[in-house]
């Protein structure tokens, strides 16, 4: 389907679609496009193309009825270009945090700025803090990448490094997000980045959101905050920094048309990313005695003695496959499902003089998402637990990461099937 876009106007196309530029010159997220250029837009994604010096002709191919809209004027507000100019003039390295509610165009703005600043000759790094809608790297991971070319979507960039948060939301895990963003910022600076764009989460309301944003802005020592808004809805996040003499605050407008995503769309994008990541995964076996354990109790203590196992079985009332004792916690793995009540927990705490008790069914480990790191703590990738062998204290993990490279296992709080389907979210430190 050939469509003509008048000079100065724009076309907004929702995926799935394939767009070919036939005539004229356009701009897509700060990247100019010319006849012969092709843009592939996936499901739950969208792209806006503004016609520049003359009429633009595009051809749209889609397996369904193409969904597009002609917009009068540019899809990219003038204040976006101004923001790029301001960043260009900032003292380097420039650390820029982009704030915005969900569906306001944060990723679009970050892509736009990255393309323009890269074209101007700056070494640009992007830290993607949005663990629920990751564009750089898999879900549940804060990702780092560097611009090596102009792009249409952030997901085109090569994943350089990451930090495993273990959840699709930073809620309840603020410290992990703060540490992760800081460490990846340091990596970017070590590699000589001149501009670092921080794509923050769309969580902007409530005490937790306020605290997360405030701490990130402080610990990163940002040069510039860019607040993308529809109606000044981010005032409560910006207000604490109004009088900062070293921080530039820019407010830019949300584009006139964006692709709004509901929960189904967001889950679809995560599952697509998981499926792609696990496509070439293989099962590896790792003994708990040979690896370090993070964000969990299992694998950090000693196996219970036969006498201790007998006592635990009397307390929980079912056969116990395995139990592990550490100074502050007891982990009990049962053969049958059991209702864990306050009396049971109190009895175990009293007998073992510990603070935490975890009673887990044998099958509950299956599907648990884990982060995998090297001996120096560098993120290697993701895996999902296939099973735990109590006798050998061995975890079987489905992952594309080589077993010999893995030194640290970090337990997440999401369950994922081998096909990449998101099955369940549970509380951190459940195991």
CATH code of the domain covering residue 408:
2.40.30.330
Range of the domain at 327: 305-362
Q: Which of 46, 71, 96 is the last residue of a domain?
A: 71
Residue 30 placed within a domain:
yes
Q: Which ranges constitute the DSSP H helices of 40-94?
A: 78-89
Say if residue 289 is exposed, middle or buried (CB neighbours under 10 Å; 0-12, 13-18, 19+). exposed
Per-residue pLDDT of the chain (431 residues; tens, 9 = 90+): 889 999 999 999 999 999 999 999 999 999 999 999 999 999 999 999 999 989 999 999 987 888 999 999 999 999 999 999 999 999 999 999 999 999 899 999 999 999 999 999 999 999 999 999 899 999 999 999 999 999 999 999 999 999 999 999 999 999 999 999 999 999 999 999 999 999 999 999 999 999 999 999 999 999 999 999 998 999 999 999 988 878 999 999 999 888 888 899 999 999 999 999 999 999 999 999 999 999 999 999 999 999 999 999 999 999 999 999 999 999 999 999 999 999 999 999 999 999 999 999 988 889 999 999 999 999 999 999 999 998 899 999 999 999 999 999 999 999 999 999 999 999 999 88
**Residues 221 and 102 occupy one common structural domain:** yes
Q: What is the CATH number of the domain that holds 322?
A: 3.30.300.20
Asked, for residue 286, whether it belongs to a domain, the answer is yes
| Eight-class DSSP state of 8 | T
For residue 57, the domain's CATH number is 2.60.120.1030
* Residues 106, 182 within the same domain: yes
Residues 329 and 212 in one domain: no
Last-in-domain residue among 11, 41, 71: 71
Residue 164 belongs to some domain of the structure: yes
Q: In 3-state terms, what secondary structure has residue 39? A: strand
The residue out of 10, 37, 71 marking a domain boundary is 71
Residues 236 and 123 in one domain: yes
Q: Give yes or no for a contact between 41 and 14, defined as CB atoms under 8 angstroms apart.
A: yes
> Is residue 311 situated within a structural domain?
yes
**pLDDT value of position 242:** 87
Pairwise CA distance, residues 173 & 47, whole Å: 32
Is 222 contained in some domain?
yes
Task: Mark whether 239 and 260 lie in a shared domain.
Answer: yes
Q: How many domains does the chain have?
A: 4
pLDDT at 283: 98
∠ CA 264-268-273, rounded to 5°: 155
On whether both 86 and 193 belong to a single domain, the answer is yes
334 and 209 together in one domain: no
At 37 the pLDDT is 96
Same domain, 265 and 280: no
Main-chain dihedrals φ then ψ at residue 306, nearest 5 degrees: -55, -40
Model pTM score: 0.94
CATH of the domain at 210: 3.40.50.300
Q: Is residue 387 part of a domain?
A: yes
* Residue 66 shares a structural domain with residue 128: no
Shared domain for 160 and 255, answered yes or no, is yes
Tell whether 299 is covered by a domain: no
Task: Say whether both 111 and 222 belong to one domain.
Answer: yes
Q: Is residue 209 in some structural domain?
A: yes
Question: Does residue 405 share a domain with residue 344?
Answer: no
The pLDDT score that the predictor gives to residue 244 is 82
Asked if 24 contacts 35 with a C-beta cutoff of 8 angstroms, the reply is yes
pLDDT at 286: 97
Residue 73, classed as helix, strand or coil, is coil
């Amino acid at each position: 389907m050939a469509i003509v876009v008048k000079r100065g106007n724009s076309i907004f196309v929702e995926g799935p679609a394939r767009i070919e530029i036939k005539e004229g010159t356009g701009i897509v997220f700060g990247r100019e496009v010319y006849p012969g250029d092709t843009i592939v837009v996936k499901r739950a994604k969208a792209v806006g193309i503004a016609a520049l010096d003359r009429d633009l002709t595009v051809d749209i191919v889609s397996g369904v009825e193409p969904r597009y809209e002609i917009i009068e004027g540019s899809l990219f507000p003038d204040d976006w270009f101004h923001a790029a100019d301001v960043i260009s003039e900032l003292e380097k390295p420039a650390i820029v945090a982009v704030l915005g509610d969900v569906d306001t165009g944060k990723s679009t703005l970050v892509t736009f700025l990255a393309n323009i600043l890269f074209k101007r000759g700056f070494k640009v790094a992007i830290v993607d803090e949005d663990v629920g809608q990751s564009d750089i790297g898999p879900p549940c991971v804060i990702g780092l990448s560097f611009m090596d070319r102009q792009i249409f979507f952030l997901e085109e960039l090569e994943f350089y490094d990451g930090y495993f948060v273990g959840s699709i939301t930073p809620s309840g895990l603020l410290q992990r997000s703060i540490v992760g963003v800081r460490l990846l910022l340091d990596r970017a600076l070590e590699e000589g980045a001149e501009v670092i764009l921080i794509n923050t989460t769309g969580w902007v309301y409530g005490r937790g959101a306020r605290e997360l944003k405030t701490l990130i802005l402080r610990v990163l020592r940002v040069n510039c905050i860019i607040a993308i808004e529809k109606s000044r809805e981010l005032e409560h996040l910006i207000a604490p920094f109004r009088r900062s003499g070293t921080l530039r605050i820019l407010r830019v407008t949300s584009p006139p048309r964006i692709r709004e995503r509901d929960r189904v769309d967001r889950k679809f994008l995560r599952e697509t990313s998981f499926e792609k990541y696990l496509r070439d995964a293989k099962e590896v076996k790792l003994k708990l005695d040979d690896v370090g354990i993070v964000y969990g109790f299992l694998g950090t203590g000693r196996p219970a003695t036969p006498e201790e196992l007998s006592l635990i079985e009397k307390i929980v009332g079912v056969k116990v496959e395995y139990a592990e004792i550490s100074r502050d916690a007891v982990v009990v793995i049962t053969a049958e499902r059991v209702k864990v009540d306050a009396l049971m927990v109190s009895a175990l705490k009293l007998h073992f003089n510990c603070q935490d008790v975890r009673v887990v069914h044998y099958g509950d480990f299956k599907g648990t998402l884990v982060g995998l790191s090297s001996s120096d703590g560098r993120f290697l990738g993701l895996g999902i637990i296939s099973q735990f062998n109590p006798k050998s204290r061995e975890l079987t993990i489905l992952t594309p990461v080589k077993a010999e490279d893995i030194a640290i296992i970090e337990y997440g709080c999401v369950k994922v099937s081998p096909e990449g389907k998101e099955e369940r979210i549970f509380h951190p430190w459940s195991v």
